[in-house]
Amino acid sequence: MNPELQGRVFAPTAPYLVGREKIREFARAVFATSPVNLDPEAARSAGYADVVAPPTFPVVIQESTLAQLLAEPDGGIDFTRVVHGNQRFSYTRPIVAGDELTATLAVTDIKTLGGHSMVTAESTIADATGAHVVTAISTLVVRGDE
């Protein structure tokens, strides 16, 4: 992996419009049973504009930023050797259906440990007004030559 990736900030992704049915599909896939994730009426009674995305939903948006990282011509990251090490989501507010979200990726840390490299990729996700919604932080482990 190219150590010069550290500190690199990528172009924001194209806006992602969060659909109600996408949230419900994702909620079912992670065994969510909470009415605020599935039922617009329940979400409205809890004070939300529409159904609330489960806590790990930003992974859907983060996916496109990680694709940017793996496609970086001078990145030197071999996708077949990548293992997910850590994941974190830090929220300012929950995602709800109707949000239009943009993610900006920054590589905040690169470490080499033994033969392996670890890259920390931080995707800052903002709404259409530019306000922060959630930051998704992934640490990827790139296994060295066996």
Partner 1 sequence: MIAEIGEIVAEKTYTLTRDSLVRYAGASGDFNPIHYRDDVAQSVGLPGVLAHGMLTMGFAIQPVADWIGDSGKILDYQVKFTRPVPVDAADGASVTVVAKVGALTDAEVRIDLTVTFSDQTVLGKAQALVSLA
Between 2 and 68, whose beta carbon lies closer to partner 1? 68
Asked if 19 and 97 touch (Cβ cutoff 8 Å), the reply is yes
> Considering only 9-17, 55-63, 97-105, 110-118, which stretch makes contact with partner 1 by CB under 8 A?
55-63
- Contact between 129 and partner 1 per CB under 8 A: no
- The tokens for 44 are 């409205």
- Contact between 89 and partner 1 per CB under 8 A: yes
Alpha carbon 36 to chain centroid, angstroms? 21
> Considering only 8-16, 20-28, 68-76, 119-127, which stretch makes contact with partner 1 by CB under 8 A?
20-28
* Interface with partner 1 (CB under 8 A), residue from 52, 103, 121, 125: 52
Which residues lie across from 57 on neighbouring strands? none
Question: How far apart, in whole angstroms, are the C-alpha atoms of residue 124 and residue 16?
Answer: 13
Which residues lie across from 91 on neighbouring strands? 134
- Contact between 118 and partner 1 per CB under 8 A: no
> Considering only 3-11, 12-20, 29-37, 116-124, which stretch makes contact with partner 1 by CB under 8 A?
29-37
Question: How far apart, in whole angstroms, are the C-alpha atoms of residue 17 and residue 14?
Answer: 10
